[in-house]
A = this chain, B = another copy of it.
Amino acid sequence: MPKQTFLNLPEEKKEILIEAAKKEFSRVSLYDACISNIIKTSGIPRGSFYQYFDNKEDLFFFLLNEHAKERQKKFLYLLKKTNGDIFDTVTELYKSMLEKSQKQENCDFFRNAFLNMNYKIEKIYTKEFSESHFNQNFKKVCNLINTSKLNINNDNELFHAIKIIMAVTFHNLVQSYAKEISYEESVENFTLEINLLKKGLYKDNS
């Protein structure tokens, strides 16, 4: 988390630092990014940087969090729009995430950010993160989902169903970003897998 000092900064100065950071994180992965470049392009002294953030991860996850919030908003919006159809929602979200990474012309932050999500996976899956970010919104999401057509028996199964859908989404997105397959192909693959999830993998009614 950025320190209060950073939050107190005049909007303009904050923006300069954020832009420099995005530029660096677009250039290379979090792993290869370095503070030296960020302070060079932003013109902010080394000492000041450490007054605002603990280290580069701190800054990175701050930016990532902002993105995550937007995504969350979009998810809730789509869920309402589709009358709680989780499959349609997740497909639309998938498309928009793909588009987002393609539209950004000279800025690969989003793509790099995603590829680096598991980089320091401990950070992502720490109790604080998963409890605050994920679980906070989870109940909200559950309540909006239309469960009448879902093949589940209770809340626990709903939880795991969502986890599965998220896992498949995540996996496809990462593969798409890393392998640079076309938008159309990626969406086609994803849709196919969502349909497999819907109909089930096991044929016991034969």
Write the residues of chain A forming the contact surface with B, with a CB cutoff of 8 angstroms. 29, 31, 87, 115-122, 124-127, 130, 149-152, 156-157, 160-161, 163-168, 170-172, 174-175, 178-179, 189, 192-193, 196-204, 206
Classify the secondary structure of A's interface with B: helix
Across the two chains, which residue of chain B brings its CB closest to A193?
B160
Q: How far is the CB of A2 from chain B (nearest CB, A)?
A: 21
Task: Give Cα A110–Cα B122 distance, bound, in whole angstroms.
Answer: 15
With A167-B170, A202-B150 already in contact, the answer to whether A125 and B178 are too (CB < 8 A) is yes
Q: B203 contacts A200, CB within 8 Å?
A: no
Among B120, B130, B167, B204, the residue within 8 A (CB) of A171 is B167
Q: Which residue of B lies closest to A114 (CB)?
A: B121
The distance in angstroms between the C-alpha atoms of A154 and B150, with both chains bound, is 25
Check if B119 sits within 8 Å of A119, measured CB to CB: yes
User: Which single residue of chain B is at the shortest CB-CB distance from A202?
Assistant: B198
Pick the residue among B121, B151, B160 that contacts A115 (CB under 8 A): B121
